Each structure stands twice: as structure tokens, then as C-alpha cells.
Structure 1
């Protein structure tokens, strides 16, 4: 989940997507899914993935929220703050 202002900033016509309603701890919010390519950079290494991202005007946080239905079903993700390490590994088919 990204704030819609981020989508606006990179030229995505947020409201042209199919409107969805998703629920969380604080209730339901409207969002718009869009297919995008994300590029992860680490030193000389880069990895691109195509995925669906939800954009919402109701989501006001400055950070992104990774979704269970899309990202966590396809990738193993590890955050290690002590080592300043982030591992993003695709599950074997």
C-alpha cells in the first residue's frame, strides 16, 4: 500500500484503477490497484519485480505497507536491523 501522493508524483493516474475497499485494524479504506515495476538496488546489484501496488488517498503514512496477498505469498522477506540487511528472496516454484 502506497499513499496516492506517491503515485501522483511518479505519474500514475491513481483513480483510473479499479476501486477496491480493503479492511484493516482501523476499518476499511478505498484503494486503487496498479501494475508497476519496482527496482531494488544494493551496491552494484539490482533486481526488478513486476507487482500490483495499491494506492490510497486514505493511507496517510510516510512508509509503504507490504501486503500479504501479493508480496508475502511470492517472496521470503527478512529484515535484520542489527546487520543493516534486507533480504528479498522469491520462493521456488
Structure 2
């Protein structure tokens, strides 16, 4: 057996537990965490934009908050599309 193959196998065994799925995380808990994070991002973006309009925040903070809000909305839309797609696929299954 080659030394590099042995090292690769050892590294694989060492990192395998890090990639294992966590059974304690349920889909409902993950969705709840996602929704809370989404709401917090939206509130932070709104607060920053209001502060920028009144002169309490600089333009850089506003642009950063808007970029984070845009990313959060795009992620939410993508998740929604995947859920709808999965639901439609389930409806197409023969009974």
C-alpha cells in the first residue's frame, strides 16, 4: 500500500464524523431557525435604512444591510420554490 493512500485513508476517517448528519436537528427546527434568522435580517435592514434616512447611519452600512436583505430574500424564494417543487412531485406520484 502506498504511503499517500494510507495518509488519505487516515484523513478520510478523521474527517468523516464532521460530515455526518446531526440527528438532533429536525426539519421543523431548521425551518424555525431559518424563519427567525430571516426575520432578524429583515428587521436589521429596515432599522438601518431608517437610520440612514434620518442621518444616523452611513451609506456603507446601508448598502451592506440592503445586500444582506437581498440575499435573505433570494434564499427564502429559493427555499420556497424547492418546497413547492417537492410538493408537486409528491402529488405526481401514483398511489
Q: Please give the range of the TM-score, normalised by the shorter of the 2 chains.
A: under 0.3
Judging by fraction of residues, say which structure has more strand.
1
The structure with the largest alpha-carbon Rg is 2
Q: Compare relative contact order (CA 8 Å, sep 6+) and give the higher one, 1 or 2.
A: 1
TM-score, normalised relative to structure 1: 0.22
Q: TM-score, normalised by structure 2?
A: 0.22
